[in-house]
Structure 1
Amino acid sequence: MPSRSLSLAILPAIEAVAASQWDALVGKDQPFLRHAFLQALEGSGSVSSATGWEPCHISVWQADRLVGALPMYRKHHSYGEYVFDWGWAEALERAGGHYYPKALSAIPFTPVPGPRSLIAADVDADAIREQLASAWQGQCEELALSSWHLLFAEEQEVAAWQRQFPGLIAREGVQFQWRDRQFKDFDGFLASLTSKRRKMIKRERRLVAEQGFTMRRLEGNDITQVAMAHFYRCYTITYHERGRPPYLNQAFFERLRHTMPEALVLVQALLDGQPVAAALCFRGETALYGRYWGSEVVADCLHFEACYYQGIEYCLAQGLTLFDPGTQGEHKLVRGFAPQRVRSLHYLAHPGLAAGVARFCQQEAAHINAYRQAAAQALPFK
């Protein structure tokens, strides 16, 4: 497809494009890229210029058909990204430059690996990426943005960007994911583990029950306004314990309850029949994603039960093959979550900063790759 048949547009809000056009480019396993999810972020005010996230999504058109897209935001800080570049910002500021605003292609507050560049299946992907690059480069030049960052993209996409634009700096990362190994059920999963870890998980689950908790999973339209409001109270507690306000407001979650209920799975912990803790997950066609958690009570092992074991059980019951429980945590490793490579890409306009960051990322990668390999050797499977 010749590039002259393509046109570019910067969207100041996701609602500037029809949901049917946008979602036609989104795979069935990525609820966070769906129009409804991005619209809930923007429509609730969780993502806005007031919160330091200015939507400027890139769209590529062939006549009146959307054939390529890239979520993008002009950022005035580095909160809610989970690929930490505060040190880069400080270095540029010390040199007399300005790191903010910058351009960011990611899902706000959502460090889940997945596609970022949305490209129609029947077009030349390289030509679309050329257009997308032209757009973010143009934004950096016209608006004096210091940089562009592509976070948590799929490995295949990272490789494609690097092939076309070798000057992009790659940064390594590690996350932990559970995958079904034809376990059939939770007992089958336990049977695959070493005796030490099998006993540990059984003891943790038994301890939750002995403290009087029962667990309940709600899906879709069974998640009522009352249930979501209780979840939100629990979610805010997690942030307040750290002395920070929550990134997301209650209106965001209420919008999701109405616009994409089929993607929601709410795990509740009940005490004397009343919910006292909750974890909200999202599901795709083959994957479950653990995202948010909070509790009104302090209880041994309740987090492990609500955020890990309930998710594994759900995947096995529903035939889902991947469970991504969220970022960080070596404690996931001993519970059967394997280390996975994740990468981000970075363009920095300042040559000196770019050179320094490239050296840093190269040195950091050696340590992260060694850690990932060591972690894989420590998995608890027989």
Structure 2
Amino acid sequence: MSAQEVEISIVASLSEIDAADWDACACPEAAAGARPNDPFTTHRFLKALEDSGSVGPGTGWQPQYLVARIAGQIIGVAPLYAKSHSQGEYIFDHAWAHAYERAGGRYYPKLQIAVPHTPATGRRFLTREGFEEVGFNALVQGAVQLTENNNLSSLNVTFCTEDEATRAEQIGLMARKSQQFHWRNQGYADFDAFLAGLSSRKRKNLRKERATANDFGGTIEVFTGDDLRPEHWDAFWEFYQDTGARKWGTPYLTRAFFDIAQEVLRDDMALVLAKRDGRWIAGALNFIGTDALYGRYWGCAEHHSCLHFELCYYRAIDIAIEMGLGTVEAGAQGEHKLARGYLPTATWSLHWMRDAGFGRAVADYLDAERAAVEEEIEVLTDYGPFKQTQIEEQQ
């Protein structure tokens, strides 16, 4: 089969695609009831964003889901959006937008294949089993053609896998290398076993931080699945609003998202909440994959020393060890994570520019940036808290 035999179409709502068809491409491993490898590309997660108004009119994220079919059967899909800004992406192209517009071009709208508001690595070109190659090629070519046909500035694919980056680069897209901080489970039996791999000074610091955090005068609980209740989201919404207002001006997710999440996503989430004097005062929300825990949102109504580190990083490690998960992805940025056992890890994005001259300038920038990122990863890894033997094992 060739990509020419594939029919490519756009749908404006996931209501137009059967959940089983989408998930057969996004998470075929979950067909028999298993947990999806990636909770963020499931039909239920993306539809929760859509149904809650977290994407759609007025958000700058207009769904244009890409669908590939052969003889009427869906063999590939991609979460594609028309973007009128660059917010909620976590791979920054603001400088590109300014340069393009200073040269007389119109950078927005652009096309973005991504999970909105979610800097977590996963497949972006989602293909049904048995159609991996033809589906991937058709989706990439279809997205580029859509950009070209509509005279849009660019196609951007954020937080794809390294394999996707390599394959797409071979057929004409530009790969961009960035980095985050991830924790790796080396088969630890418990948190103390993790600490044993740290240098003595770092081990002492982490123990001191955990003791300080847990001395805030309250209790910390973890909720997932049916243990999650609407009242937990009432509290967490207060925390999330505060963080969103400080970081982005306006929170990306609406209140309705958490109500829908309670109904359809509760098995995919682990919510860590701190309570003091009978009221919830802080929380951190994680999503659960087959082999990774994804730290997403944090907020608080009271500030207590080290509580942020405890809820977001150390409790995430506890959960990952207990569930036998291999990785904790703690979200975008934050070199402060390094001292807490989260090592720099490469992430990938893809880009295609309609203007060839601008594309060459971006390619030159990406070459220089990649060298800088690789050097930074090497340097930061050496500054990590682990004993040298532990660093070598994790590389």
Same fold, TM-score > 0.5, yes or no? yes
In structure 2, list runs of 5 or more residues that go unmatched: 28-35, 388-395
1:202-234 superposed Cα distances (whole Å, 9 cap, x missing partner) = 111111222213210011121111101110110
- Correspondent of 1:329 among 329, 334, 346: 334
- Correspondent of 2:113 among 99, 105, 120: 105
Matched residue pairs, number? 379
1:83 aligned to 2:91? yes
1:121-162 superposed Cα distances (whole Å, 9 cap, x missing partner) = 212x33223321332123213322111001110101111111
- Correspondent of 1:259 among 248, 260, 264: 264
Q: How many angstroms apart in 2 are the aligned matches of 1:290 and 1:130? A: 31
1:16 aligned to 2:12? no
> How many angstroms does 1:200 deviate by?
0.8
Q: Which moved more, 1:56-65 or 1:28-37?
A: 56-65
1:215-273 superposed Cα distances (whole Å, 9 cap, x missing partner) = 10011121111101110110011122347110111101111110121101100011123
Mapped contact 1:266–1:281 kept (Cα < 8 A): yes
Q: How many angstroms apart in 2 are the aligned matches of 1:279 and 1:73? A: 27
Aligned to 2:310: 305
- Correspondent of 1:198 among 196, 203, 210: 203
- Correspondent of 2:61 among 53, 56, 61: 53
Identity %: 38
1:289 aligned to 2:297? no
Partner secondary structure for residue 277 of structure 1: strand
Aligned to 2:183: 178
> How many angstroms does 1:62 deviate by?
2.2
1:271 aligned to 2:266? no
Alignment RMSD (CA, Å): 1.4
Q: How many angstroms apart in 2 are the aligned matches of 1:296 and 1:90? A: 37
Partner secondary structure for residue 231 of structure 2: helix
1:119 aligned to 2:124? no
Aligned to 2:157: 150
Aligned to 1:208: 213
Q: Return the TM-score normalized by structure 2.
A: 0.93
1:360 aligned to 2:365? yes
1:91-114 superposed Cα distances (whole Å, 9 cap, x missing partner) = 111111100110100100001011
1:146-187 superposed Cα distances (whole Å, 9 cap, x missing partner) = 110011101011111112x1x322211001111111211111
Mapped contact 1:40–1:252 kept (Cα < 8 A): yes
Mapped contact 1:88–1:353 kept (Cα < 8 A): no
- Correspondent of 1:38 among 35, 46, 64: 46
Q: How many angstroms apart in 2 are the aligned matches of 1:243 and 1:78? A: 12
Aligned to 2:104: 96
> How many angstroms does 1:360 deviate by?
1.2
Q: How many angstroms apart in 2 are the aligned matches of 1:4 and 1:267? A: 49
Mapped contact 1:7–1:60 kept (Cα < 8 A): yes
In structure 1, list runs of 5 or more residues that go unmatched: none
Which portions of structure 1, spanning 4 or more consecutive aligned residues, are displaced by more than 3 angstroms? 2-5
| 2:148 partner letter | E
After superposition, the Cα gap between the structure-2 partners of 1:292 and 1:131, relative to the gap in structure 1 and judged at 3 Å, is: same
Aligned to 2:135: 128
Partner secondary structure for residue 50 of structure 1: coil
1:299-331 superposed Cα distances (whole Å, 9 cap, x missing partner) = 110000000010100111111111111111111
Q: How many angstroms apart in 1 are the aligned matches of 2:140 and 2:210? A: 49
Mapped contact 2:178–2:346 kept (Cα < 8 A): yes
| 1:373 partner letter | E
Mapped contact 2:7–2:70 kept (Cα < 8 A): yes
After superposition, the Cα gap between the structure-2 partners of 1:196 and 1:74, relative to the gap in structure 1 and judged at 3 Å, is: same
Q: How many angstroms apart in 2 are the aligned matches of 1:372 and 1:88? A: 24
Mapped contact 1:152–1:342 kept (Cα < 8 A): yes
Mapped contact 1:150–1:344 kept (Cα < 8 A): yes
